[in-house]
Amino acid sequence: MTHPAVAKAQKLAPLFASRARIWDVERRYCWENVADLVGAGIMGMTIPKSYGGLGASYLDVVQVVEEVAKACTLTARIVVESNMGGISAVMAYGTDAQKSFCAPIVLAGDKPAICITEPEAGSAATRMRTTAQKRGGSYVINGTKHWITGGGVSKLYVIFARVLDEDGSDLGIGGFIVHADIKAGIIPQGFTVVGRERTMGLCGMPEAELKFENLEVDQKWALIPLSGLRHGFADLMNAYNSQRVGAGAIALGVAAGAFEHAKTYLLEREQFGRPLAEFQGLQWMAADMDTQIHAARLMLHDAARPRGPNGSQFPDMTMAARAKLFASEMAIKVVNDSLQIFGARGYGDKEPLERMYRDVRMFTIGGGTAQVLRTQLAGAILGIKTPQTRDGYLNAAPAVCHAAE
């Protein structure tokens, strides 16, 4: 049975489509769309009902994301990150106090930022140099995070750092919840947004560099799974499997949206005295695009179901990686072919294809590059440890790359 939020997303899609070019050209965050998402109950819909959410499943979210992404990639990104990833980790592993604090902020429109990637640690997430040293009842965080999606506009930040005991001994990698509302002037001492990257696509979403200088975080905001710090990073990153599925769903939605434009154009545009749809070469292109979109949708829906180890509520890592890999590469091809059908008209910015092509290019990079995902899949298929996973944590946790944090 389809979740009611899917119908709400379909109703909002034309409005989002009419605004999409604004965020792209002005490189502005889509606050107006966020307000509409809040009104529709789409922000934080996976948050349990006991904390004010809808208790929706990841499969529900994937279907909503596809509908939103057909219209506006930026807005779909916000839907994913308000329902998967960081907030999922908090809801799965956080204390009651942490959940009670974070849930209302997300439900009110916040897109939590996951702070993992560093200048010298992209896909090799466990090579991070940011530290959080225990000091009495607090942790003091020092380091730099780069390509942090939503940096400067998000209010909740889940900062991953190498945790050090008071004597300096390494305890493993943990997460810390930090509240920083730049817009409202709530900026913790030692928390700085250093700069923003100018990106090819998704231009309204800030990709920021954050610097932490003796940022003091009370120990009550440490996000530590039941397995403890030594193995907790892998548990925290299990939550990232849901966001990986979400990234694939955005790619699927962009592809489906581009294909809808292409189908309309094929039926309406005439050349040599007949509609483009009557040319066999273009018919075959349409058949291939439809098949690829349908296959990606089936893979993502299957991967969205919780099949993690030991009854985990999160998607299985291998299924998530496989679905995201296929969907992201499929989307680039389908959007490219859709643009090709439009010819020179598709290359101009009067049609949405030009923006969609730039937006979708990110999804074979962010959330784990296509190459890293293939390495992970090979390791799972062959039952071996690959060079990228021999340091321990990555054997159990998804590798991360920029633009997904």
Kindly write down the DSSP assignment for every residue of 276-331, as one continuous string.
GGG-HHHHHHHHHHHHHHHHHHHHHHHHHSB--GGG-SSBPHHHHHHHHHHHHHHH
DSSP code, position 112: P
Q: Is residue 401 part of a domain?
A: no
Same domain, 382 and 244: yes
Q: Is residue 404 part of a domain?
A: no
Contact predicate 172/161, CB 8 Å? no
Same domain, 262 and 383: yes
Same domain, 184 and 210: yes
pLDDT (0 to 100) of residue 402: 38
3-class state of residue 147 by DSSP: strand
* pLDDT digit string (tens) for the chain, length 405 residues: 899 999 999 999 999 999 999 999 999 999 999 999 999 999 999 999 999 999 999 999 999 999 999 999 999 999 999 999 889 999 999 999 999 999 999 999 999 999 999 987 766 667 889 999 999 999 999 999 999 999 999 999 999 999 999 999 998 889 999 999 998 999 999 999 999 999 999 999 999 999 999 999 999 999 976 556 656 677 777 888 899 999 999 999 999 999 999 999 999 998 999 999 999 999 999 999 999 999 999 999 999 987 655 556 789 999 999 999 999 999 999 999 999 999 999 999 999 999 999 999 999 998 889 999 999 999 999 998 766 554 444 433 433 333 333
Q: Is residue 24 part of a domain?
A: yes
Q: Is residue 403 part of a domain?
A: no
Domain boundary among 56, 83, 107: 107
Number of domains in the chain: 3
Same domain, 206 and 274: no
pLDDT tens figures, 143-157 = 999 999 999 999 999
Same domain, 300 and 337: yes
Q: Which residue segment(s) compose the domain that 140 sits in?
A: 113-223
pLDDT (0 to 100) of residue 396: 39
Q: Is residue 12 part of a domain?
A: yes
pLDDT (0 to 100) of residue 392: 43
Contact predicate 108/150, CB 8 Å? no
Q: Is residue 389 part of a domain?
A: yes
Question: What average pLDDT does the structure give for the chain?
Answer: 91
| Residue whose entry in the numeric block shows the structure tokens 């225990």 | 134
288: domain CATH number is: 1.20.140.10
pLDDT tens figures, 225-261 = 655 665 667 777 788 889 999 999 999 999 999 999 9
Domain boundary among 107, 134, 151: 107
Same domain, 51 and 158: no
Report the run of H or E that residue 162 belongs to, with start and end: strand 156-164
Residue 92 CA to residue 188 CA, distance in Å, equals 26
Same domain, 237 and 364: yes
Same domain, 214 and 244: no
Q: Is residue 402 part of a domain?
A: no
216: domain CATH number is: 2.40.110.10
Domain boundary among 52, 79, 107: 107
Paired tokens of 256 = 């489906």
54: domain CATH number is: 1.10.540.10
Same domain, 236 and 201: no
pLDDT tens figures, 300-326 = 999 998 765 555 678 999 999 999 999
Same domain, 13 and 121: no
Same domain, 296 and 385: yes
Same domain, 182 and 319: no
Q: Is residue 405 part of a domain?
A: no
Contact predicate 154/110, CB 8 Å? yes
